[in-house]
Each structure stands twice: as C-alpha cells, then as structure tokens.
Amino acid sequence: MSIENNQLLRISTAGSVDDGKSTLIGRLLYDSKSIFEDQLEAIETTTKRKGREGIDLALFTDGLRDEREQGITIDVAYRYFTTPKRKFIIADTPGHIQYTRNMVTGASTANVAIILVDARNGVIEQTRRHSYIASLLQIPHVIVCVNKMDLVDWKEDRFLDIQQQYEGILSKMSIKDVRYIPISALEGDNVVNRSENMSWYQGAPLLHTLETLHISSDLNKIDARFPVQTIIRPQTDEFHDYRGYAGRLESGILRKGDEVVALPSGFNSRIKSIDTFDGTLEEAFAPMSITITLEDDIDISRGDMIVRKNNQPNQVQEFDAMICWLNSSAARPRGKYTIRHTTNEQKSMIRDVVYKMDINSLERNSEDTEIKTNDICRIKLKTTKPLMIDEYRDNRATGSFILIDDGTNETVAAGMIIS
Amino acid sequence: MSKYYLNYLEELESEAIFVLREVAAQFRNPVILFSGGKDSIVVTHLARKAFYPAKFPFALMHVDTGHNFPETMEYRDQLIQDLGANLIVGSVQEAIDKGRVVEEKGRNASRNVLQITALLDTIESNQIDCAIGGGRRDEEKARAKERFFSHRDDFGQWDPKNQRPELWNLFNGKHFQGEHFRVFPISNWTEMDVWNYILKENIAIPSLYFAHEREVIWRNNSWIPVSEHLNMDERDSPVTKKIRFRTLGDITITGGIESEADTLEKIVEEVAAMRQTERGNRADDKRSESSMEDRKREGYF
C-alpha cells in the first residue's frame, strides 16, 4: 500500500448513550476491517455475559473500567483506523453538558466534526451544543449524520425536514462547510456501504466522504508563524558555531533567504538555512518540524517567534477571548493565571467577564459573571508582557492558549482569541 | 507545483519531534524508557532527528527484569555505544534481592508487575522528572485514554479520571517536587505506522523481529521461547518452529508467531494482513479485562 499521498484526518464526535455514536464508530471500525479477531472475541464474550445477543458494536469504544461498568464515555478516547486512502484519528467524547470540557478538548485538533442527529427526534438541545462547540473551536468541516433512518422507514421527507431544522441553527454559528448524510449505524446504511434502503440519497456514504474531504487548505498557509521551542547548539568540532532554532512551523511557508523578524525583539535577519536530520530544505511549510539558522547572530530564545518581515502577528497585552473553563474549581474573580500561548509563557489576569454563553439556548448572559466548570465565556485578559497573537478564526495555533493555575499546576482553561 | 501537505507518516513524525522538543524545553532531567522493543527504538530514532545536529538531551533508561532475550541486550549495548548516550539501568533482580518486591511463583510466574517498583525506584533515585515512553493509544483500551503529557503523582500513580485536559498542541508539564511525567511522543501511531516508519527510515531492529528457528512451547495460545527463566513441567513439549516476535517483553511472557517474514518488507506485508492485535500474544495483558489499566494506575509504563 502506498502512503505517499495519504493524509491524516482528525475527526471529533460527541454523543450520549442513546444516540448511536458508539455504534457508529464501532461500525466504521468493523466495516473498514479495522477490528482484530481477539478484540472481536472479547466483545462477543462481554456481550454474552451481559445477556445480550450478537456483537454490541458500541463496546469497541469503551475504555476504562468505570466506563465499561456504567456504560458511559467519561473522557476523550482516541480510536485509529486506516483505509487505502487515509489514516483516521477519532476523538470520541461524551455528549452531556457536564462533559463540555471533554468535547472542547476533542474538538481542538479536529479537521471534521461528526454531529449525530436521531432521525426520530430531529435537532435537539444537544445538537445545538455540539454544533456550537464545533463552531467555537473552528472545526473546518461538519458532517451531520441523520442516524436511525431505519426507525423512520427510510423516509426522505424526514431527512430533508431535519436538514432544514439544522440550517435554522446554522445562522448563529460560523461553520464553513456542512454536509448531511442519512444513515443507520446499526444496520450499516451509508456508513461504509451505500444504502439500498435509501436510493433517493445521491451523495456519498460517510466513509467515502471522510476519505475525500479536501483538507490541504484547512491549515493557514499564508501567515508564516514559527514559535521557537528550543535552541540547538551542538558545540562539537564539526558544528562549532552552529546555533539553530528548533520548532514547528505552525502556519504558512518559509524559504531559505526570506527576510524575517524575530519577535518580540524586532531584530531583522534572513533565513540562512532550514535544517532537518534528512538534509537542508529550500522551503518548509506547516506543520513541519524544522530547525532554522539565521544570517545574523541575534538573541532568540524559547517563546520568541520568527515571522516574515511583511506579515506579522499583533503584539498586545490586552485582548478579548472566548474561554472554556476546564477545572472543577471555579475561576477566582480577577484571578491571576499563567498563560501558555504557543511556546511562550507569561502571567495573566482575567480582568473582566463580558458574558457567559448558554450553549443550549445559544443566549448570552452578561449578568452571571462567575466562571465555573464547563462554562464558556467571553473574557478580557491582560498579560504582563506582550503576546504575539492572531485571531483564532485566522490561525488556530497562534490564536489559542491555555491558562494554568500556579497553585495546582493544572490546566484550568482553554482560550480562543477574538481580538 | 509542489504539494504543501504532509502525508500521515510525515505528520506523525513532525508531531513526535514537536513533543520531544517540548520535553527538552520543559523538564530538567528527562530520560527515554528503552526496552529494546520497536516502539522505544522508534522514539530513540525520533529523538536523534529532533535535536540534530546536536545529540539528544536524554539518557536511556532500561528497566531490566533479568529475564531478557540476549539479542535485546546486545542490541541495547550496541545502540548506546553508537549514540554515545548514557544508560541508566533499573534492576528488578536488585529489587528482589533487596526485598523490595517478592517474586511470583508458579507455572505462569512473571516479573512483569515487579517492573513497576524497579521503575519508580530508579526514577526517584535519579531524580528523573520525565520518562519518555513508546506507548501507543492503539495498543490497549486503557492506553487509548492516555495523554501525550501524562502526570504522575509523588507515588508514581496515574489517575485516569483526573487527567489534565490537553488541547491543541499546548502541553503542560508543570509539576511539583517528587512528581513526574510520562510522555508518549508516538501516542497517535498504530502498529502499522511503526512498521511503515521503520521500513521508510531503514531503522535497525533486533533480529528477534525477523522470522527465525527457535525452540518453543505452546502455552496460552502462543509460542513461548524455551529459556532458563521459563518454568516448565511434564505438560510442556518443546518443539522447533520458525517464528518471529511482534512485540518484545520479558522472555517468559513474550509469545512468538509462526512466520516466514525475514525482511522488513515482508513484515510490513504480514502485519497488514494480521487479524490479531499484537498484544494478543502477551500473557501480561490477558490476566483480566482491566489488567493494563490496573498496572498503569500503579505506575506501569
């Protein structure tokens, strides 16, 4: 099998016990032959022990003992499968509101969100919630799977009706690419194989859609942003004066000879070489991990950013952001936290809570300013030193941050920069 | 026009290199947990790439059960010499001799669980604040929940229900004195990815992975190699088979599979056609449905 042009697609799903999410993932793994015999045997044994028949596909996605016992997905679990066209990573998260933080985590790196809608119930609160998270985290593609079509007699009317309902909620979101697929995860219709029960559906089944989704242009290839992770100094005879800046090009393209500027110092230089273990490169693009050397000997350390002279991020100390509070203890009013933004770390303070988002009704509440677990709020943040930021909608890497509580060292919030 | 996207193996490599560089930047005394198995070999290879042209800033740490394949030890010593790296050994035999742990008895006795104590003792005595492992999420259901940066309390324990959220590529390795992290740069790789990568990069691996003739017994549904460490009785009848190993652990619990694959190309082909998971031949995982989770909570790899 050639992997030369096969890309990696990161999928996020969210769902509760009854909406068939686990069955859908189980179906994708099973029908794409990604399940091994010993796994299958283990599932058959467990299914039988629980007094049920056949193979409960949902059991493939259960991880921890508590989850197996309670039949719920508590955390984010990652599943992998490969087809001759692509490699897939599924971030599988629970769907209840008390697991909003897990959904946000799973969504943060996804290329595509699969939103499950029960054909009998149509668009419900949970659908809005999952879609809002996909929109908030700027997942480039959303696939609405209208599931359990077998229970509505495979009716096209019902599918079109739900599609219309969903378009109604889209006006409140910023989702760029939406597709709709009628499926039955239980029966396998339109998951891997085309449905014979729904000949009225002209589109591709889910797996084919996932295999062919155009994702090369999802990553920002315009604004070159190179946050420095660490400095490479071999100090050997062969590389006596070598000083390289190691990091991952988070967005854009850099070429040898490019005029660049190091931030925050503002010193200009040119790219002397782009080095990797496999040799030097004429150009590098996101998300490559590379080492850059510059023509001039300037002071650069971890947390600095190398960018093009004529395309720079904003350097600010105060900005607005949407945050999702991840920790079980509430935010301290005007609390101080360490902010991690790319490889840069500073102290920060929550200056103000602008509003809290009710992610069920999508209403804003500017009265309630207490930030608790799973809350999604717009805040004003101030940092001790300037950060090199872009808006999250333009750049997921330089528009995102986390807050860390110095008292516990825990990651307490995830943030998306607005302006 | 040149393409401006990475294929998935290149993307996985870039991700792993990013993680390894974060470790170097965020920790004071990190080590690579090196077992001589293919996953830790790949992690070591990635570390070489991440810090080129400098040497990688990690020592290699081997938790030695004393029940090793001689081939693994040879490979380890050669690699250490080639890399000019430091080797730290945590010895299970020493832990037994000191009375820190008690050897299991019986036909299926193994030193697998005893490794936890040797591992944690060595981490503590060397003041290691980060141990980089070759664990992959596709290996086992408890591992599917593992973070890239995984926190361990001052007893070395993992609390799977209270893990730090991990968003985007923002890894938080902050910790208090006495605590440490386990970091898994190849979390997102599958067995197939590892083999494809070994083939692409032409990475040297121990001869045990290639098909070879060996004296074995049939136990727990796989071919267990006959060795001085294996407890055998009249029920066991050794035979010579052409086998190879899909994973490498203790010689007493690592089962081989019958195979003719004696080149990397043939191994990749064989793995692609496999209908059993690689850990299906590991007796340590078969003890109960949650044996990996239980060991991991205690501080296992």
Give the separation between CA B77 and CA B36, rounded to whole angstroms: 10
pLDDT (0 to 100) of residue A66: 53
Nearest beta carbon to residue A410 from set B55, B164, B276? B164
Residues 14-53 of A with CB under 8 A from B: 36-39, 42, 46
**pLDDT digits over B94-145, tens only?**
888 888 888 887 777 777 788 888 889 899 999 999 999 999 998 877 788 8
| Least confident segment among A50-64, A279-293, B172-186 | A50-64
Contacting residues of B for A62, CB less than 8 Å apart: 141
Contacting residues of A for B21, CB less than 8 Å apart: 229-230, 246-247, 289
pLDDT (0 to 100) of residue A62: 58
Residues 318-337 of A with CB under 8 A from B: 326
Contacting residues of A for B8, CB less than 8 Å apart: 3, 6-8, 86-87
Phi, psi at residue B205, to the nearest 5°? -130, 160
Interface probe with B: pick from A65, A138, A387, most Cβ of B within 10 Å: A65
pLDDT (0 to 100) of residue A248: 98
Nearest beta carbon to residue B17 from set A82, A253, A289? A289
Tokens representing residue A25 in the block: 């993932």
Average pLDDT over residues A67-75: 54
Residue with the larger pLDDT of the pair A76 and A206: A206
**pLDDT digits over A343-352, tens only?**
999 999 999 9
Angle CA(A395)–CA(A397)–CA(A402) in degrees, nearest 5?
Answer: 125
Does B207 lie at the interface with A, CB-CB under 8 angstroms?
no
Give the separation between CA A313 and CA A390, rounded to whole angstroms: 6
pLDDT (0 to 100) of residue B62: 94
Does B84 lie at the interface with A, CB-CB under 8 angstroms?
no
Please name the residues in contact with B191: beta carbons below 8 A apart, sequence gap of 6 or more.
Answer: B136, B138, B139, B246, B271, B277, B278
Does B265 lie at the interface with A, CB-CB under 8 angstroms?
no
Does B6 lie at the interface with A, CB-CB under 8 angstroms?
yes
Residue A416's identity, in one-letter code, is M
Please name the residues in contact with B144: beta carbons below 8 A apart, sequence gap of 6 or more.
Answer: A63, A77, A78, A79, B137, B138
H or E element at residue A247: strand A244-248
> Do the chains contact at A105 and B25, CB–CB below 8 Å?
no
Average pLDDT over residues A97-122: 90
pLDDT (0 to 100) of residue A72: 46
Question: What number of residues does chain A have?
Answer: 419
Q: Which residue of B has its CA nearest to A326?
A: B165
SS percent in chain B: helix, strand, coil, step 5:
35, 15, 45
ipTM, interface predicted TM-score of the complex = 0.92
> Do the chains contact at B54 and A234, CB–CB below 8 Å?
yes
pLDDT (0 to 100) of residue A61: 63
Q: Which residue of A has its CA nearest to B10?
A: A288
A184: helix, strand or coil: strand
Give the separation between CA B211 and CA B245, rounded to whole angstroms: 8
pLDDT at position B59 over 70: yes
Contacting residues of A for B176, CB less than 8 Å apart: 409
- The answer to whether the CB of A185 falls within 8 A of the CB of A143 is no
- The answer to whether the CB of A181 falls within 8 A of the CB of A194 is no
Distance from CA of A19 to the nearest CA of B (A): 22
Does B28 lie at the interface with A, CB-CB under 8 angstroms?
no
pLDDT (0 to 100) of residue B65: 85
Residues 165-194 of B with CB under 8 A from A: 165-170, 172, 174-176, 187-188, 190, 192-193
Residue with the larger pLDDT of the pair A66 and A146: A146
- The answer to whether the CB of A22 falls within 8 A of the CB of A58 is yes
Task: Report the candidate in A185, A189, A181, A12 with the shortest Cα–Cα distance to residue A94.
Answer: A12
A267-276 and A279-281 strand pairing: antiparallel
Give the separation between CA A84 and CA A207, rounded to whole angstroms: 12
CA atoms within 13 A on the CB side of A186: 10
Q: Kindly indicate the confidence band of residue A70, based on its pLDDT and cuts at 50, 70 and 90.
A: low
Contacting residues of B for A77, CB less than 8 Å apart: 141, 144-145
Walk me through the domains of chain A, giving residue ranges and CATH numbers.
7-212 (3.40.50.300), 225-308 (2.40.30.10), 314-417 (2.40.30.10)
**pLDDT digits over A75-95, tens only?**
788 888 888 899 999 988 877
Nearest beta carbon to residue B280 from set A38, A234, A343? A38
pTM for this model (two decimals): 0.92
Residue with the larger pLDDT of the pair A40 and A233: A233
Angle CA(A271)–CA(A274)–CA(A278) in degrees, nearest 5?
Answer: 170
Q: Which residue of B has its CA nearest to A40?
A: B276
Phi, psi at residue A397, to the nearest 5°? -80, -45
Give the separation between CA A99 and CA A187, rounded to whole angstroms: 28
Walk me through the domains of chain B, giving residue ranges and CATH numbers.
8-193+290-298 (3.40.50.620), 204-275 (no CATH)
Does B277 lie at the interface with A, CB-CB under 8 angstroms?
yes
> Do the chains contact at A75 and B7, CB–CB below 8 Å?
no
Contacting residues of A for B163, CB less than 8 Å apart: 75
> Do the chains contact at A36 and B272, CB–CB below 8 Å?
no
